Structure 1
Amino acid sequence: MQNAQARIEHPRLRHCTFKWVSDDSPMLMIVGKEYFEITEDFGTREQFLTIKRYFDGRHSIAQIAERAGVDEDSVRQIAQTFDELGLLYRTRPMASVPAKAFTEQIEASCDMWGRQIGFHNLFAGLESGDLRGEVFMGMILETYHYVKAAPKHIATAIAHCDDERLVPLLSRYFTEEYNHAGMLLQSLKKMGVPKEHIKSAHPVIGTWSLINNLCEIARQDTLSYIACTTLFEARADDFEEGTESLRRAARTAGYPEACAEPLITHMRIDVEAGHVGLLDEAVGILGDIPAANAHKAVNNLHDLKHSYDQFHDGIVQYYSDIANYIPRIKVDYFSL
């Protein structure tokens, strides 16, 4: 087990995210379901974030101070404070992670990452009207491609399942998800997009990347894939806020509120099916999780979180460009 002195001399933060509304508002540090307010009594926000950048376990206090341009005592004091709050990374001998602890930690981390995904400027920009109305259409269209691909990554998980006890769970999940894209198709038709244009539409690269990452995780490791459902399946706690946000974005973009209803129905069906609880069900079958498997699942889950960021980046970038074809079309040989 790593002792306190070693943790402080080469500090590494537990995984966290930071959020603030404006330069003069408090900065929140979010770790799982815990929130910490970071004040600026000494130094600036920029200085703090520069120091935080080197809290990766690979830099000593002296190296951090030199690279961040601050004195060693200040860096050490920050490290000691984080350690007292339990915010520094701690290793310990562990052959396996207790089933209940694993599920609770994944759920807490997915709560944090899910909110971080929601901080993307795509959503704020749509509600405020800072983004073009076409970006809202693009979000629905790319979500259609994403939902349409669900059978692909679920089937990959079934084909490569590394524990036959989990096959019935994945098979049930497949039957409950395989035909949901039709609901998104109805949303797009209500927005005035011709059906033939939707059927021939080509996803943007961020969407392909997200789908392919899900397929790769499903191919590599069954536990990782099921853990990922905790991040991307609809949550009951977020349903009401999410539906109202979607309706506001539709109105602001100049589309009828009714275009959001099929997507909201899809979200409601997922919530009622309890898909966000698949991991709890799987771990109930598997029992305690070998530590190596737990580490792999967390890393794959974290990569998927960044795939969603890339997915949303792609929507904003492509559909904000007034010169781009909407929906996107394939480029064939005769296009050259």
Structure 2
Amino acid sequence: METQEITAAEAPAHPRLRENIWHIRASSDAALLITSDSRFEVGTEDALRFLKMRSHCTGFHSVEEIAQRSGLALDDVRSILASLEEAGVVFSSPAERADLDRVRAALLSICKIWSDELRLAYIGNEFRHGSLPKTALTGWLCEMYHYISDFPLAIEHGARRAEGRLKDVLVRYAQQEKHHDEFVVRTLENLGLKRDEVKGSAPLVSTRAIGLLMREMFEHEPCSVLLMAALVEAQEFQEEHIAGFKQCMHETYGAPLDAFDPFFEHQQIDVGMGHAELLADNIDLIDVTDMERLDGMVNRLHDLKHAFELQSLEIRDYYTNLNGKYFPRQRMRFSSL
């Protein structure tokens, strides 16, 4: 996707924005703006000024109100919005139905964008730098155990509501994902946890929320299972990066060099099965054009993206400083009252 420059056009009176993702570094002269169909370079100062008003571009405020709420000059707000309008970032009223080719292209694009964003912010990256304690490392793996255990059950929830070839694809996908939690249990055993304590632990609330949100989305639109696969499945297996990660885990956390072998065996299996390509390979099974249904599906997928980000925050919060919290997290039972 080629990076473009933004020029100016006229913006609507009550502006609302399309999905826009910004990568801004204060040390760089240019920021990167990503939309579902383009990338733009924007001066860093202009990008930072825009962020002051972005929060108020919800479609409920006039340009004058945006200027007042953000503290920017009215002419500056108009100028920024005009540039964003030219870039296609300012939202325009949609038709009741969408063009199917446009739907499929947009969903493929946004799944790639959000998947990249999740990888950039993934808590697993922090362990490579040794910035979190070992309790957070094992806590993260416990949450992966619970999530991976639940994932095929959520897919089956969607498969029960699907028909035809979509149903066949989802049933096969669920079957292929079953028992993959065993790879994580073996990894945790290699790090010193007991099998029974892993299986008897309780997921964090954010991990449970991911399962509930998946079921809600799959129930409304079974084809959204394919979007989920594009969002979360590993896309490549790079042995040199994995070797570096295992060496870092050994040096930083004292993990045996082979401790993560089961974890990465699971990743290799998923990559080999082509789960990350399920959406692209079956894009013809995306046949939703009703705008209300599309809005609901995309909103739920966006909620799931943020649920994974929330999970990283909760893992960091719960497992970094235990301060007497149970490790791993335990289920609450009536008999304990």
Calculate the TM-score normalised by the size of structure 2: 0.86
CA distance in 2, matches of 1:58, 1:104: 29
8 Å Cα contact 1:82-1:88 kept in structure 2: yes
Aligned to 1:110: 111
Query: What letter corresponds to residue 27 of structure 2 in structure 1?
Result: D
8 Å Cα contact 1:61-1:75 kept in structure 2: yes
Gaps of 5+ in 1: none
8 Å Cα contact 1:27-1:38 kept in structure 2: yes
Query: What letter corresponds to residue 175 of structure 1 in structure 2?
Result: Q
Aligned to 1:91: 93
Structure 1 residues 191 and 281, CA gap change in structure 2 (3 angstroms): same
Pairs within 5 Å for 1:1-336: 5=10, 7-21=11-25, 23-25=26-28, 26-32=30-36, 34-41=38-45, 45=48, 47-93=49-95, 95-99=97-101, 101-120=102-121, 122-161=123-162, 163-236=163-236, 243=242, 246-247=245-246, 250-251=249-250, 252-285=252-285, 287=287, 289-323=289-323, 324-336=325-337
Q: What's the CA shift for 1:212? A: 1.4
Q: What's the CA shift for 1:189? A: 1.1
Q: What's the CA shift for 1:202? A: 1.2
Gaps of 5+ in 2: 1-8
Q: What's the CA shift for 1:147? A: 0.4
Q: Matched residue pairs, number?
A: 326
Structure 1 residues 298 and 111, CA gap change in structure 2 (3 angstroms): same
CA distance in 1, matches of 2:239, 2:14: 44
| Residue-by-residue CA offset, 1:85-123 (whole Å, 9 max, x unaligned) | 222223343623324x33332222122212222333734
CA distance in 2, matches of 1:208, 1:95: 34
Structure 1 residues 66 and 122, CA gap change in structure 2 (3 angstroms): same
CA distance in 1, matches of 2:200, 2:235: 31
Kindly indicate whether structure 1 or structure 2 has the higher relative contact order, using CA contacts under 8 Å at least 6 residues apart.
1
Aligned CA RMSD, in angstroms, stands at: 2.6
CA distance in 2, matches of 1:210, 1:266: 20
CA distance in 2, matches of 1:27, 1:159: 45
Query: What letter corresponds to residue 14 of structure 2 in structure 1?
Result: H
Aligned to 2:3: none
More helix by share: 1
CA distance in 1, matches of 2:137, 2:171: 33
Structure 1 residues 36 and 258, CA gap change in structure 2 (3 angstroms): farther
Q: What's the CA shift for 1:309? A: 1.1
CA distance in 2, matches of 1:196, 1:110: 36
Q: What's the CA shift for 1:274? A: 1.6
Aligned to 2:4: none
Structure 1 residues 226 and 76, CA gap change in structure 2 (3 angstroms): same
8 Å Cα contact 2:108-2:279 kept in structure 1: no
SS at match of 1:315: helix
Q: What's the CA shift for 1:214? A: 1.0
